[in-house]
Amino acid sequence: MKGSVEVEDLSVVFKRRDQYGPLLVLESTSFKINSGEFVCLLGPSGCGKSTILNLIAGFLKPTKGRVLVDGQLVEKPGADRGFVFQQYSLLPWKTTFENVEFGLKIRGISRVERTELVNDYLNRVGLYKYRHSYPHQLSGGMQQRASIVRALVNSPSVLLMDEPFAALDAQTRHMMQELLLNIWSDLKSTVIFVTHDIEEAIFLSDRILVMGVRPGRIKETVVVNLDRPRHIDTMLSPDFVNLNRQVFELIREETLKSMELG
């Protein structure tokens, strides 16, 4: 089984050119994620969630500490880690098919194999019909589905997702959450999902790493023992409501701090 992630004693200091001087964003943060686990990083805006994800992706180098994926030191981005951004990030001049195909082409996968793989994935998320459409012809939800399959088609052992549904309306967001869980239950890759939405974190994850602010760090780990498969009804169960209350209290304190009110 692939997809284990070890984050060891990570600190990040951003040098700033303004009067405030260096900013300690992340301080001595450590955690481990097992193969196939679905983990959410939850915390208020500005607590360092994207920074952690960017470190695991290899987009950013830590000031101190290290990240290991399957025991290998992360030094740069790699095909073992797929990334889905919050903002729609498909190439506007390529069709859905071409966008999803792009990574496979770069890796030298044959045309026949590419076509089969891409069509299979587009089918899974209901986009086969739209394979020749351009991003501007797709809704926000469709563009994010395309972004997810663009990452998955390369069979990453770890899928990194940075608030991928934040820009979607509530109805579409719920459908995307269920769709993501369905895909994940088939593929069993590790997912690290960043969100500031408590219900989203509980609905999706096996475990929630609740982050604190100033400086960012993991404040608490909450295990989510809700049965799978999960559906919208899961959100109405007493266990869900209890977890929601528990996590809400943890987050509330940090949100006040991040708003400089606490």
> Mask 1-20, x = binds ligand ADP (CB under 6 A)?
-------------x-x----
Give Cα separations from 206 to 14, 19, 91, 95, 152 (angstroms). 31, 42, 33, 35, 20
Instruction: Kindly tell me which residue out of 39, 47, 158, 224 binds ligand ADP, with binding defined by CB under 6 A.
Output: 47
> Mask 42-81, x = binds Mg ion (CB under 5 A)?
--------x-------------------------------
205 is in the binding site of which of ligand ADP, Mg ion, none (Cβ under 5 to 8 A by kind)? none
51 is in the binding site of which of Mg ion, ligand ADP, none (Cβ under 5 to 8 A by kind)? ligand ADP
**Shortest distance in whole angstroms from residue 88 CB to ligand ADP:** 18
Question: E strands within 2-156?
Answer: 5-14, 23-33, 38-42, 64-69, 72-73, 81-84
Residue 40 has phi, psi (to 5 degrees) of: -105, 140
Instruction: Kindly tell me which residue out of 3, 48, 164, 212 binds ligand ADP, with binding defined by CB under 6 A.
Output: 48
Contacts of 220 (CB under 8 A, 6+ apart): 210, 250
Q: Assess 62 for contact with ligand ADP (CB under 6 A).
A: no
> What whole-number distance in Å separates Cα of residue 257 and Cα of residue 262?
4
Instruction: Kindly tell me which residue out of 23, 106, 256, 259 binds ligand ADP, with binding defined by CB under 6 A.
Output: 23
> What whole-number distance in Å separates Cα of residue 10 and Cα of residue 209?
15
**Shortest distance in whole angstroms from residue 250 CB to ligand ADP:** 15
Residues found near ligand ADP in the complex (CB under 6 A): 14, 16, 23, 25, 43, 45-51
Residues found near Mg ion in the complex (CB under 5 A): 50
